[in-house]
Structure 1
Amino acid sequence: MSRPAAPKANTEALLREGTPMSALHTLSARALAAQVIDGAASAAEVARHFIARVEALNPGLLAIVQFDPERVLREAADVDRRLAAGDALPLAGVPVTVKDNLWVEGYRITQGSLLLEDFIAPRDAWAVARLRALGAVVLGITNCSEFACKGVTSNLVYGATRHPMDPALTPGGSSGGAVSALASGLGLLALATDAGGSTRRPAAHCGLVGLKPSAGMIPHPWGFAEPNYGLSVIGVLARDVTDCAWVYDLLAAYDAGDPAGVPIPSGLEAGTPLAVPSRDLRIAWSPRLGCDFAIDEDVLAALQSRVDALRAAGWRIDNGDPPWPTEAREYPLLALQQAGLHALYGSRLASERERIDPNLVMQIEAGARCAPADIARALRLRERIGHALGSFFAEYDLLLCPTAPVTAWPLDHLGPPVIGGRPAGPRGHAAFTPLFNYCGVPACSVPAGRVRGLPVGLQVVAPRYEDATVLRFAKVVESTALRDA
């Protein structure tokens, strides 16, 4: 797919100009699947609708970077045949997108890198195969930053993905293509990855629900070697919490080929509405996460207002911070990512430097400087970070905190230069998410209002394997926000 010219109008403007669209893209994934199962619409009709949307809207977004309409129609026709044969397909006809670092058989999957520009996936990633088996249709492959290791979504293969509400802004990263597509109605669900917030932060910037499950809950036994080994998980993106929980429940499983896999159930009630969580939950609100992280005052005010609304609705929420080690500050284990990048791609730096994103070149070179003792110290710090959060969860069942300290920023910046009135480092916009990857716990970003017309997200975190508790309370947050909108 060639790189489109810069857009002259945003997504909503294109729709107002009269692009012919039905209402299928406004449905929840659950409702659309029910229509296909009941025969009110065929999977082929659904596919044609979403193909038209991609063709109309994607050139101004660069959200989907691999798109094959004929293949989409073939997949949809196969779903219709399977339904006619009596197969049970809970996701029948639901269009999903897949991030460009997850394998989809027969598609060009590059991880946003020219080093992989000719790679054709030999098989589906486990999660992709599972969604297909349940009747979902892969609509396309979504853009990501190179090796999913940058907080904005731009690369040398395809270019920069634009925010669905304002083409001058970034949707964040590394799963910016996934959120830009989903927020624009290019699909109803999205698969992504999250090694330090790559699912949750873009979700917050685009008004979506983004779940980072507990480590090992969604199998990922094959695919690309992961620079953030032991930290990255499959992320689930949806437009509402119920869709997110539904798909998570369908994906949560055990595969012995995944060394992180755990043979435990999701904790949700398959196919039933999310249960209301117990009013006895012990909940803490940590506006700066106990690390004095910078946050824009209006973003903080919006999130504080959401927490106050939950308190007014009868939820007991204390102010409380996890007792992190003093070293647990902005991206404290970045050395592990840098060392992982160098181990995988350092040998190609001398001959192919110009084919690698300059930001990634700096990370690979930093990884070359990591001594064994540096890695050992980082791993020990990870252990201490995990112990600190574990002691916090001995007193609380849930932690609420910001997902990102800022709204979306200009497209050509790696991050905002100032956050909360302070000069911001290159990872300041990402400070609130990676600690939970280090601990392997579930965390979900939920839309919590708008600041200056742009979405912000509240992060819901629980102890490891309490994913169901996270999703149930995320539904409470969502319901409160919708009531107050």
Structure 2
Amino acid sequence: MTTEPTAPLSATAMAEALERRAVTPATLLADALARVARADATLGAFVHLDPDGAARAAAEAGARQAAGRRLSPLDGVPVAVKDNIWVAGMPAHWGSRMWSDFTPPCDDIVVERLRAAGAVIIGKTNTPEFALSGRTDSPLHGKARNPWNPALTPGGSSGGSVAAVAAGMVPFSVATDAGGSTRIPASYTGLYGLRPSNGRLARRHGFPPMGIDFQAVGILARELADLELAYGLLAGPDERDPASLRFPPPRAAGRPRIGWFARYEGELVHPEVEAAVIECARLLEAAGYEVTPCPPPYDVALVRRVWGAISSAGAARAAELHPERWRKEASGAIAAAAERGLAMSAVDYVRALDGLAALRAQVSENWGAADVYLCPSAASPAWAIDDEFPAEIGGKPGHAAAQNTFATWVNAVGHPGLSIPGRPHADGRPLGVQLVGRFGGEADLFALARVIAAAAPWTRPPFPAW
């Protein structure tokens, strides 16, 4: 057996080394925990570690390895899970003081599948309260920071997960995405971030949803191969989640057609983000794909109105689970959202649902011939950690809604979206571009991401050493 690794390994490299018995699960776990010990006081990635439970899981994986009975390529690989996903035996705080003493009674389905694959869950990652913010600053656990520069935000609401992965603590993390919460932070940290089609990663047990079916379980990884490996083992139907049973057949063979847009008229976008999208469109065209510029297929003002109403109602419902506590313990942003939700009438809420139905019909009508849309993941790169939103984007004043311009419509329609690294900003900050597929079209996104990665004339900078 080899000694402790000296550099972060990908999940696929870990799997290969475990298969040929060049490393043990216990060694990989020790390395992961050592990396957490070195970096987490600065980065605030984890809110709970379970070294004893992880050690038991690693020992079981090691026994299977020795017997030649590994459960899957992930058997013995250390991973992390976002704080708002239920893991039996570990706290699920939801980033909130109101759930500071809550431990869920069971695993959600994705965690069941991680365990069935033999993955070693080392702990839970930081998220803002109710996972409802574009940056990660929990009233219970404080800030998560960007490994590329701790003075910058890693984004939200999966800020702890991207910090853990980008810093090399784990090769991938399971997270969630209700308005861009995997894809936007991935773009700020040089990662791959998937928001799959609704139901693709089945769910059953967890906190009440903030925005009906806007939220999906997602995956964040340094390497595309790692994301695909995890997706292949975690996705699939489960009768406990009817949405997981309702997928169309795969698209007929042939290259997907690509529509692209790099800006939304009247909305902010950083020039280098726009340029990164255009560059990727040209790469795909040069690779022989049909690539067509087109207008965005959605009304962003309608997206924001619908999301604002539905998420406010969700915040009110969650807050009212603690009627005597929430006004004292909720963050300012959540308290304000809950008050807006409580002020809504039933008619107001039904109108929001009508708006969502109209939005979904609009996107279906406007989708056109494209199989995949290429667009920005976020309007800008990461910004100063103490600011609620970027002070400026492309030389114009920023605002709180700017970062959801290109992300939340994907959640509204329930389609898959994949953020991939684009050409970095001139100052070295990561930038992401997004591929959005038809419902059930994850395979097209992975295929195009591989083409872009292979053809890219830029080199992704080395991840910071922690």
DSSP-derived class of the 2:219 partner: strand
Please state if 1:33 is matched with 2:7. no
- 1:395-406 superposed matches below 5 A: 395-406=369-380
Please state if 1:67 is matched with 2:49. yes
Q: Tell me by how many angstroms 1:146 deviates.
A: 0.4
Correspondence for 1:370 among 324, 338, 344: 344
**So what's the TM-score if we normalise by structure 2?**
0.92
- In the TM superposition, what whole-angstrom CA distance separates every residue of 1:186-237 from its partner, at most 9, and x where no partner exists? 1111000001100110000000000000001111111111112211110111
- 1:40-189 superposed matches below 5 A: 40-85=22-67, 86-189=69-172
Gap regions ≥5 residues in structure 1? 1-20, 269-276
- In the TM superposition, what whole-angstrom CA distance separates every residue of 1:110-168 from its partner, at most 9, and x where no partner exists? 00100000011222221112111111101211000001011110111110011101111
Q: Tell me by how many angstroms 1:264 deviates.
A: 4.8
Q: Tell me by how many angstroms 1:286 deviates.
A: 1.0
| 1-structure distance, mates of 2:11, 2:299 | 42
| 2-structure distance, mates of 1:472, 1:138 | 29
- Could you tell which deviates more after superposition, 89-98 or 432-441? 89-98
Correspondence for 2:294 among 314, 317, 320: 320
DSSP-derived class of the 2:74 partner: coil
Q: Tell me by how many angstroms 1:349 deviates.
A: 5.8
Please state if 1:443 is matched with 2:443. no
Q: What is the identity, as a one-letter code, of the residue corresponding to 2:431?
A: V
DSSP-derived class of the 2:169 partner: coil
DSSP-derived class of the 1:405 partner: coil
| 2-structure distance, mates of 1:97, 1:26 | 15
DSSP-derived class of the 2:274 partner: helix
**Contact residue 249 and residue 266 of structure 1 kept, 8 A:** no
| 2-structure distance, mates of 1:165, 1:134 | 31
Name the % identity: 35
Correspondence for 2:214 among 219, 231, 238: 231
DSSP-derived class of the 1:461 partner: strand
**Contact residue 25 and residue 187 of structure 1 kept, 8 A:** no
**Contact residue 378 and residue 432 of structure 2 kept, 8 A:** yes
CA 1:370–1:47 in structure 2 vs 1: closer, same or farther (change >3 Å)?
same
**Contact residue 330 and residue 428 of structure 1 kept, 8 A:** no
**Contact residue 221 and residue 259 of structure 1 kept, 8 A:** no
Q: Tell me by how many angstroms 1:88 deviates.
A: 3.0
CA 1:39–1:347 in structure 2 vs 1: closer, same or farther (change >3 Å)?
closer
DSSP-derived class of the 1:185 partner: coil
Q: Tell me by how many angstroms 1:481 deviates.
A: 2.8
Correspondence for 1:468 among 443, 447, 456: 443
Measured on the aligned residues, the alpha-carbon RMSD in Å equals: 2.2
- Could you tell which deviates more after superposition, 85-94 or 224-233? 85-94
- Could you tell which deviates more after superposition, 131-140 or 254-263? 254-263
Please state if 1:281 is matched with 2:249. no
| 1-structure distance, mates of 2:300, 2:92 | 40
**Contact residue 420 and residue 432 of structure 2 kept, 8 A:** yes
**Contact residue 37 and residue 92 of structure 1 kept, 8 A:** no
**Contact residue 253 and residue 263 of structure 1 kept, 8 A:** no
Please state if 1:357 is matched with 2:339. no
Please state if 1:336 is matched with 2:319. no
| 2-structure distance, mates of 1:347, 1:243 | 38
Please state if 1:212 is matched with 2:195. yes
| 1-structure distance, mates of 2:15, 2:270 | 40
Q: Tell me by how many angstroms 1:180 deviates.
A: 0.4
Q: What is the identity, as a one-letter code, of the residue corresponding to 1:433?
A: A
Q: Tell me by how many angstroms 1:462 deviates.
A: 1.0
| 1-structure distance, mates of 2:80, 2:250 | 26
| 2-structure distance, mates of 1:336, 1:329 | 11
Q: Tell me by how many angstroms 1:104 deviates.
A: 1.3
Q: Tell me by how many angstroms 1:103 deviates.
A: 1.1
CA 1:209–1:138 in structure 2 vs 1: closer, same or farther (change >3 Å)?
same
| 2-structure distance, mates of 1:334, 1:454 | 30
Q: Tell me by how many angstroms 1:377 deviates.
A: 2.0
Q: Tell me by how many angstroms 1:41 deviates.
A: 0.8
Q: What is the identity, as a one-letter code, of the residue corresponding to 2:289?
A: W
| 2-structure distance, mates of 1:479, 1:266 | 28
- 1:414-453 superposed matches below 5 A: 414-451=388-425, 452-453=427-428
Q: Tell me by how many angstroms 1:178 deviates.
A: 0.1
| 1-structure distance, mates of 2:43, 2:276 | 28
DSSP-derived class of the 2:283 partner: helix
Q: What is the identity, as a one-letter code, of the residue corresponding to 1:304?
A: I
DSSP-derived class of the 1:138 partner: strand
Q: Tell me by how many angstroms 1:185 deviates.
A: 0.5
CA 1:483–1:410 in structure 2 vs 1: closer, same or farther (change >3 Å)?
closer
| 1-structure distance, mates of 2:25, 2:249 | 28
Q: Aligned residue pairs: how many?
A: 456
**Contact residue 331 and residue 434 of structure 1 kept, 8 A:** no
Q: Tell me by how many angstroms 1:25 deviates.
A: 4.8
**Contact residue 283 and residue 455 of structure 2 kept, 8 A:** yes
CA 1:114–1:435 in structure 2 vs 1: closer, same or farther (change >3 Å)?
same
**So what's the TM-score if we normalise by structure 1?**
0.89
| 1-structure distance, mates of 2:419, 2:300 | 26
Q: What is the identity, as a one-letter code, of the residue corresponding to 1:235?
A: G
| 2-structure distance, mates of 1:392, 1:265 | 20
| 2-structure distance, mates of 1:267, 1:122 | 36
- Could you tell which deviates more after superposition, 224-233 or 370-379? 370-379
| 2-structure distance, mates of 1:165, 1:148 | 22
